[in-house]
């Protein structure tokens, strides 16, 4: 074995060993054995992190299109990259002029990606070439996920605005904005979500708003950050479950509202709650304190909580009876019924975003310019 190979082995073996060690868990019972494991499917280094010492993490995310057999990811370097789902082969790459901070959208009319250069791009899913003559551009960075509904593409920008653009020709449909608070407490943005004929959007002034999908006119607005003096941003993407909406102000915690009129059903205090994940009759979320918490969806009562070895726990996803949560060390697998951490997949520089899931495969953007696919293998 040559010297380079020995160096690679010395580097990889500790990481592989760490991937099979149970995470420390302080508030849920330990698991009796490990019912599954992570198996690497493929991975790519998309860019070299030029400011490595300052910001090695990457807020980009991936979206899978099973029908086309592709997964499309946006990354901090501004690249939108399409991979073959099964093999990980790079199919095409399109370069924007700013970081991608969120999840592209793939639909019948193409791939839509918002960039921190302020522009929304429509790309051919087969070639990555632009479809519009020119992108739709604003004067502010686009943050969060692009949402598609009917003939509209919706997105949020970093100055309390939500835009709707016609997918066919990239022309303006409508825009809604709110005044910015005197002091911005966080840099996150809640992505707009469509529920029937309504758009749900959160804003940095602490309000959650329901808009008419066709016109952008306000239907109702509810303050989630009432009685808070700081960290009032509603920067967790709303989730609709039947007639309920779940969203959070950063300094408050998850709030359950009625979709019809925005009235508050219940609210609970959990600092920096992520986008929630419905799991049966519960909602599960990560927090800025490194906890993963499950609450009853109807009443907000706590079912379980687990403290992970990470500064912050990000939005969870699920495969079968297991939850997967990104953090400083990589991705944790937890028992969805009890919250018991089972095993952690070690990822250098961590995973600070929500993985995409297709069957038992997880796709995610890691720190330092990597895009990865791993399989969860039940034993």
For the residues 322-342, what does the mean pLDDT come to? 96
**164 against 179, higher pLDDT:** 164
- Alpha carbon dihedral 152, 119, 74, 58, in 10-degree steps, equals -130
For the residues 118-143, what does the mean pLDDT come to? 97
**347 against 52, higher pLDDT:** 347
Instruction: For 59-159, give the CATH class.
Output: mainly beta
Q: Name the pLDDT band for 50 (thresholds 50, 70, 90).
A: low
- Alpha carbon dihedral 347, 75, 278, 260, in 10-degree steps, equals 160
| Count of other CB atoms within 10 angstroms of residue 295 | 25
CB contact at 8 A, 44 and 93:
no
**pLDDT score at 55:** 67
**pLDDT score at 251:** 87
* Alpha carbon distance 292, 324 (integer Å): 10
pLDDT tens-digit map of 168-191: 999 999 999 998 776 544 556 899
pLDDT tens-digit map of 365-375: 998 889 999 99
* Alpha carbon distance 24, 37 (integer Å): 17
**Structure tokens of 244?**
């309920």
Residue 29 has pLDDT above 80, yes or no: no
Residue 67 has pLDDT above 70, yes or no: yes
Residue 42 has pLDDT above 70, yes or no: yes
Residue 16 has pLDDT above 70, yes or no: no
pLDDT cut 90: percent of the chain above it: 78
Q: Name the pLDDT band for 48 (thresholds 50, 70, 90).
A: confident
CATH 2.40.128.630 domain position(s) in the chain: 59-159, 178-273
Residue 283 has pLDDT above 60, yes or no: yes
By mean pLDDT, which of 277-281, 328-332, 375-379 is the weakest? Answer: 375-379
Q: What is the DSSP letter of 24?
A: P
Q: Where are the beta strands (DSSP E) in 300-369?
A: 302-307, 317-319, 322-326, 330-335, 341-346, 356-358, 361-366
For the residues 312-321, what does the mean pLDDT come to? 96
CB contact at 8 A, 282 and 295:
yes
pTM as predicted: 0.89
β 218-223/193-195 pair status: unpaired
CB contact at 8 A, 35 and 351:
no
Residue 340 has pLDDT above 90, yes or no: yes
Nearest to 197 by CA among 178, 216, 170, 171: 216
Residue 9 has pLDDT above 90, yes or no: no
For 310, residues 6+ apart whose C-beta sits below 8 A from its C-beta are: 290, 327, 328, 329, 332, 350
Asked if CATH classification 2.130.10.10 holds for the domain at 19-48+277-379, the reply, yes or no, is yes
Residue 294 has pLDDT above 80, yes or no: yes
Q: CATH number of the domain at 178-273, out of 3.40.50.300, 3.90.1150.10, 2.40.128.630, 3.40.50.720?
A: 2.40.128.630
Residue 14 has pLDDT above 50, yes or no: no
Residue 21 has pLDDT above 70, yes or no: no
**pLDDT score at 367:** 84
When computed from its CA atoms, the radius of gyration of the chain, rounded to whole angstroms, is 20
pLDDT tens-digit map of 207-242: 999 999 999 999 999 999 877 666 789 989 999 999
* Alpha carbon distance 184, 192 (integer Å): 20
* Alpha carbon distance 96, 80 (integer Å): 8
For 291, residues 6+ apart whose C-beta sits below 8 A from its C-beta are: 27, 270, 305, 306, 307, 308, 313
- Kindly report the average pLDDT of the chain as a whole number: 88
């Amino acid at each position: 074995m040559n010297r380079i190979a020995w160096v690679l082995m010395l580097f990889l073996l500790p990481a592989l060993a760490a991937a099979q060690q149970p995470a420390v868990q302080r508030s849920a019972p330990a698991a009796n054995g490990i019912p599954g494991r992570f198996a690497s499917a493929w991975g790519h280094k998309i860019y070299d992190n030029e400011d490595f010492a300052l910001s090695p993490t990457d807020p980009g995310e991936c979206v899978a299109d099973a029908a086309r057999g592709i997964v499309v990811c946006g990354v901090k370097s501004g690249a939108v990259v399409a991979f073959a789902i099964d093999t990980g082969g790079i199919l095409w790459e399109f370069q924007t002029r700013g970081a991608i901070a969120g999840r592209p959208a793939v639909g019948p009319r193409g791939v839509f990606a918002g960039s921190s250069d302020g522009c929304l791009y429509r790309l051919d899913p087969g070639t990555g070439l632009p479809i519009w003559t020119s992108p739709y551009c604003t004067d502010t960075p686009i943050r969060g996920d692009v949402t598609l509904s009917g003939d509209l593409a919706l997105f949020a920008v970093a100055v309390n605005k939500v835009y709707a653009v016609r997918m066919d020709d990239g022309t303006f449909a409508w825009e809604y904005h709110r005044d910015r608070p005197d002091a911005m407490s966080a840099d996150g943005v809640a992505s707009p979500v469509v529920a029937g004929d309504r758009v749900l959007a959160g804003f940095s002034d602490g309000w959650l708003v329901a808009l008419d999908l066709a016109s952008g006119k306000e239907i109702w607005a509810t303050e989630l950050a009432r009685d808070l003096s700081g960290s009032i941003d509603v920067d967790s993407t709303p989730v609709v479950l039947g007639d309920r909406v779940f969203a959070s102000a950063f300094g408050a915690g998850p709030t359950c509202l009625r979709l019809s009129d925005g009235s508050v059903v219940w609210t609970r205090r959990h600092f920096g709650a992520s986008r929630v994940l419905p799991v049966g009759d519960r909602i599960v979320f990560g927090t800025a304190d490194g906890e993963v918490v499950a609450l009853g969806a109807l009443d907000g009562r706590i079912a379980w909580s687990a403290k992970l070895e990470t500064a912050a726990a990000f939005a969870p996803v699920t495969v079968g009876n297991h939850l997967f949560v990104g953090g400083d060390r990589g991705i944790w697998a937890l028992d969805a019924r009890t919250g018991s951490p089972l095993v952690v997949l070690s990822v250098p520089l961590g995973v600070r975003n929500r993985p995409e899931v297709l069957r038992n495969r997880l796709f995610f953007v890691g720190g330092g310019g990597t895009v990865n696919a791993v399989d969860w293998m039940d034993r």
